Structure 1
């Protein structure tokens, strides 16, 4: 079954981190991402090439222009004017990256700030487990979009170690029955949800 992924929405200057992930996946789906990474021209044809070799060489040469077409059509006219003079896909890609992600130093500072926000997170008394995990994931996803690898186990550990004391007994029983280093965030939330519901119902029945 043939599969043609839809192109990403046109990038107009906002949410670059999201657009760049979608565009990379789009190019990978069409076997074109290596053109951006390598930025190398195909080797010249040898003497007396066969028709098949000439066809393959022509297809390899065309990849550069296909990527440029994807990038040029994947941005608004305002953004296009900033990359239209670029000679190669890699040059256009790096130009957009530098302008909308900032320098390596800027990205490093962004990561430091986001990691600090992550470390300082604690669950509020008024929050549900789901609300708290969503708040954590908002920061984690921003970290991942910048390009830093952030494991699921680290997120789960953060949730477990910052839950209020009222969840301590449930966490202890989970530790006895499950390997918490291998549990997913959704599994953890699902495990804690019944206890949270019981506590909420008890609070309604016997308000202080």
Structure 2
């Protein structure tokens, strides 16, 4: 609201509530124009304030005759008395000092939590410089950021580093760490899947052996030794190339099913 009024050169009217000096006798056209412009600023300011608030808030300031009265009425409604403001400020300072980053929290979410408290302090009217926020972030980061902090200490002057630069540097580290974890998990999943497919393939072959299908096929061909060697070779191929496991097992199962049908 203050910025909005300043944009129209009306903040001084709200802050001082001073009436313009009355016109002297026989004023010029320029003097009359300036006088009425200055006098109308009061009505413009109170009009802007009334138009910027909700209907519920408007009922609280509609009896105010000057912009200064309306402004202080709003200030009293939303900020309370000076004693209440000081108590709020004390509580917010305590909240800021107690802030710590959680283990599962990202640096951007943590910075948002910090800025929520800082902005509340600033809205009350307390000055809060960025260097203090940067110091707070550095002092409350978990151990996993120690390497990055040391790197920043070696390459930058931490006294003048901006909050945005610090958060972006820490966020970049988080992204690299997340990528490494994802690649590791993906590799572990692929290895586990490959092992499961190999076990399934061997179990299927063992089942066929127990039912006599492979041995029967060897006896029918009259060359058991050669077929057994081919079978061992096929089993080794299953272990080597996991991409062919499903097709190989499917082929063996189908062959077994056909042999069972032929026998019947």
Range class of TM-score, shorter chain: 0.7 to 0.9
Question: What RMSD over aligned residues (CA atoms) do the two structures have, in Å?
Answer: 1.7
Instruction: List, as ranges, runs of 4+ consecutive aligned residues in structure 1 with deviation greater than 4 Å.
Output: none
Equivalence for 1:158:
136
CA distance in 2, matches of 1:54, 1:170: 66
Within a 5 Å distance, the mapping from 1:94-105 to structure 2 comes to: 94-105=72-83
Which secondary structure does the structure 2 equivalent of 1:183 belong to?
A: coil
Q: Determine if the alignment matches structure 1 residue 176 to structure 2 residue 154.
A: yes
Structure 1: gaps spanning 5 or more residues: 1-22
Within a 5 Å distance, the mapping from 1:62-141 to structure 2 comes to: 62-141=40-119
Equivalence for 1:13:
none
CA distance in 2, matches of 1:78, 1:192: 44
1:101 shift after superposition = 1.4
Equivalence for 2:174:
196
TM-score (norm 1): 0.82
Give the structure with higher Rg (CA): 2
Deviations 1:52-76 (A, max 9, x none): 0111001000000111111222223
Deviations 1:104-156 (A, max 9, x none): 11111111111111101111110111111111111111111222111111111
In the alignment of these two chains, the number of paired residues is: 185
Equivalence for 2:163:
185
Structure 2: gaps spanning 5 or more residues: 189-264
CA distance in 2, matches of 1:128, 1:81: 43
1:97 shift after superposition = 0.9
TM-score (norm 2): 0.66
Q: Name the structure with the higher helix share.
A: 2
